[in-house]
């Protein structure tokens, strides 16, 4: 367990020291969200109605861009081979790395989301719900993304392939994330979709590291 936390700490520290990756994801998030009104027109009523959808989709795309760094750098410099032969089971290695991705990408994007909500005239009452759902939903984004990152680690044009593989898997997260935020859901609908979103995240936290570790084992053979 100690080596799990050590690995998590290392990955988070590396991501923060490099800085570039987090900043790029946040910048991309900002740019995509600000392009939306330019494409859809500045009608604030329309924008506030679809704000939750725009924010969630932009968040998924921003997270997608950072997925390939979960394993790629460690694969290139050989760290992954060392980790694979080390005492920590590969399932826990992938869990630690996915968790690190969530801490360094999921949480910043979730915190950034309400700030960008201002640009889209999102209803003020929806802000706490938005932060809560993005925080609860983004683990699924990181852990499912880790599967895709592990599968495509050695491929050329990996980025596009990663998007093709991972985005369909994000559909449940997207749907329940948005339905929790949209005003029409009402309090019962809100509780239900929030709980389902949490359940999806929990399922992927179990499934993701297993599948990602299986994929890494194939690559490292």
Give the binding site for another protein (CB under 8 A): 144, 147, 151-152, 154-158, 161, 164-165, 167-169, 171-172, 175-176, 179, 184-185, 189, 193, 196, 200, 203, 207, 211, 214-215, 218-219, 221
- Shortest Cβ distance from residue 191 to another protein (Å)? 14
DSSP string, 76-106: HTTHHHHHHHSSS-HHHHHHHHHHHHIIIII
- Shortest Cβ distance from residue 164 to another protein (Å)? 5
- Shortest Cβ distance from residue 42 to another protein (Å)? 25
Contacts of 159 (CB under 8 A, 6+ apart): 65, 68
Contacts of 137 (CB under 8 A, 6+ apart): 56, 173, 176, 177, 197, 200, 201
Cβ nearer to another protein, comparing 8 with 145:
145
Cβ nearer to another protein, comparing 22 with 169:
169
Cβ nearer to another protein, comparing 104 with 179:
179
- Shortest Cβ distance from residue 214 to another protein (Å)? 5
Cβ nearer to another protein, comparing 30 with 183:
183
E strands within the chain? none
Cβ–Cβ under 8 Å, residues 62 and 109: yes
């Amino acid at each position: 367990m100690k080596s799990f936390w050590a690995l998590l700490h290392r990955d988070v520290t590396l991501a923060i020291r490099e800085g570039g990756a987090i900043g790029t994801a946040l910048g991309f998030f900002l740019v995509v969200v600000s392009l939306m009104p330019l494409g859809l027109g500045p009608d604030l009523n329309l924008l506030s109605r679809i704000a939750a959808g725009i924010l969630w989709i932009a968040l998924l795309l921003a997270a997608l861009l950072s997925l390939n760094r979960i394993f790629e750098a460690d694969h290139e410099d050989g760290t992954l081979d060392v980790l694979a032969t080390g005492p920590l089971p590969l399932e826990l290695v992938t869990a630690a790395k996915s968790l690190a991705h969530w801490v360094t990408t999921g949480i910043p994007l979730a915190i950034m989301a309400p700030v960008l909500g201002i640009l889209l005239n999102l209803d003020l009452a929806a802000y706490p719900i938005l932060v809560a759902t993005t925080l609860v939903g983004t683990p699924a984004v990181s852990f499912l993304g880790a599967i895709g990152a592990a599968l495509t680690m050695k491929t050329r044009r990996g980025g596009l392939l990663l998007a093709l593989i991972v985005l369909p898997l994000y559909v449940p997260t997207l749907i329940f994330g948005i339905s929790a935020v949209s005003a029409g859901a009402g309090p019962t609908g809100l509780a239900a979709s929030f709980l389902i979103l949490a359940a999806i995240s929990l399922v992927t936290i179990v499934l993701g590291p297993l599948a990602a570790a299986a994929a890494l084992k194939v690559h490292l053979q």
